[in-house]
Structure 1
Amino acid sequence: MRVGVPIFLFLAAAGFHTALTASLESAEKEDTFVGLEQLSDLQKRDQEEFEAAQMSEAVQDENTEEENDTQEEDMNRDGNVEADQHESESDEDVDGMRQKREHLEANVEEADETTNLAEVE
């Protein structure tokens, strides 16, 4: 019986060691699997965030282009208004100059008539 107790203790320790080793290996595999699963989830989340960011940038780019187009249209419209104003100012200038010329011509004619009358007398 004296020999049986140390053998029993040795077998018990060996069994405990084997069970502990198997448990640790199982835990490592599980951690690795969970780690890969978590990594996969993180990659999926990152990919979704990346796609969302790209879509957001595309929408912002589209809005910027629309704003630029609107600004260009406004500038063209303002330019057309200015051109119309300039044109109407030019027309007014031409009308004013025409009136001055007619007035001067009338004055010249009156002066000619006055000179002719003076010569006749």
Structure 2
Amino acid sequence: MEKRKILVIDDDETITTLLRGVLEWAGYEVRLAGNAAEANRHLWEGVKPDLIILDVMMPFLSGDRVAGIYKSNEATRDIPILYVSGRPEEELKALVESTGASGYLHKPFGTSKVVAAVQALLG
């Protein structure tokens, strides 16, 4: 059986390293991107993830703008997006609703919460 693919987009290397370790341990294939440009290289090289985990607050192009771009593109609009952020939960809920994302994880989060959120979205 082929592993489900997850693309993690976050400019914080500590977070990406943690997410990669947790998600690979849980049986997923994980690719990392430190910004939207790196993420686009993965997407346009034919690597279509089953899920995108996206930091809301990144330099140059914020996560909500990245989500808007992906959700408006036919090739990527059906990929679920899970935001990660330390912003207040009310703001995150509003972003999920306004951008069409599938959910969010509030930083700091525990490893079991990450796996549970991913499993809930990917089945």
TM-score range for the pair, normalised by the shorter chain length? under 0.3
Structure with higher helix content: 1
**Which structure is larger by alpha-carbon Rg, 1 or 2?**
1
Structure with higher strand content: 2
Q: Which of structures 1 and 2 has the larger relative contact order (alpha carbons within 8 angstroms, sep 6+)?
A: 2
TM-score (structure 2 length as normaliser): 0.13
